[in-house]
């Protein structure tokens, strides 16, 4: 069963999110999810199986350019996670479908996502769920020194 995130489920979703994004801090993620509760342009959906919170998906509306799309806003899958014991049972598909419906209800005609080039599991999941690859990029950065005046 899929539910929208509520205040009561913040801890549970935050714990799941830490498994997806282990480099983050618990309190920072909890604040982010709490902020989403009051944001009409974002939503988190929680999948409950056997009375256990086993997965979530975070969808947002992006108005900036989204790689490979032609419209704005675009529904964007910010993150999705399903506990390993519950994978390959259609849970991710159900979560994506409810995210797509959220985006449609907000007037979107396109739905997008991204992942790291090395995340083969995510790439395969996206392909299996009907996403098509639009581009591959490598991002760069360079530190610059501040000049004193």
Number of H helices and E strands in the chain, helices first, is 4, 5
Listed as ranges, residues in the chain with pLDDT below 50 are none
Cβ contact 58:29 at 8 Å: no
The whole domain housing 10 covers 2-128
Residue 81: CB atoms within 10 Å: 21
pLDDT value at residue 37: 93
Residue 24 lies in a domain: yes
CATH classification at residue 50: 3.40.630.30
Residue 83 lies in a domain: yes
Domain count, the chain: 1
pLDDT value at residue 110: 92
pLDDT tens sequence across 5-43: 999 999 999 999 999 999 999 999 999 999 999 999 999
Residue 60 lies in a domain: yes
Residue 135 lies in a domain: no
Query: Long-range contacts of range 66-69, CB-CB < 8 Å, 24 or more positions apart?
Result: 66/110, 66/112, 67/112, 67/114, 67/134, 67/135, 67/137, 68/112, 68/134, 68/135, 69/110, 69/112, 69/134
Residue 76 lies in a domain: yes
This prediction has a pTM of 0.87
Q: Read off the tokens for 85.
A: 């014991």
pLDDT value at residue 142: 87
């Amino acid at each position: 069963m899929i539910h929208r995130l509520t205040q009561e489920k913040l801890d549970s979703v935050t714990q799941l999110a830490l498994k997806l994004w282990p480099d983050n801090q618990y309190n920072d993620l909890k604040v982010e999810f709490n902020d989403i509760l009051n944001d009409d342009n974002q939503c988190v959906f929680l999948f409950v199986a056997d009375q256990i919170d086993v997965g979530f998906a975070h969808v947002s509306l992006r108005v900036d350019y989204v790689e490979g799309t032609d419209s704005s806003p675009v529904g964007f899958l910010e993150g999705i996670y399903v506990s390993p014991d519950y994978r390959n049972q259609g849970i991710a598909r159900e979560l994506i479908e409810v995210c797509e419906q959220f985006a449609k209800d907000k007037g979107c005609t396109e739905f997008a996502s991204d992942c790291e080039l090395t995340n083969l599991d995510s790439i395969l999941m996206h392909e299996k769920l009907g996403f098509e690859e639009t581009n591959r990029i490598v991002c760069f950065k360079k530190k610059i020194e501040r000049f004193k005046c």
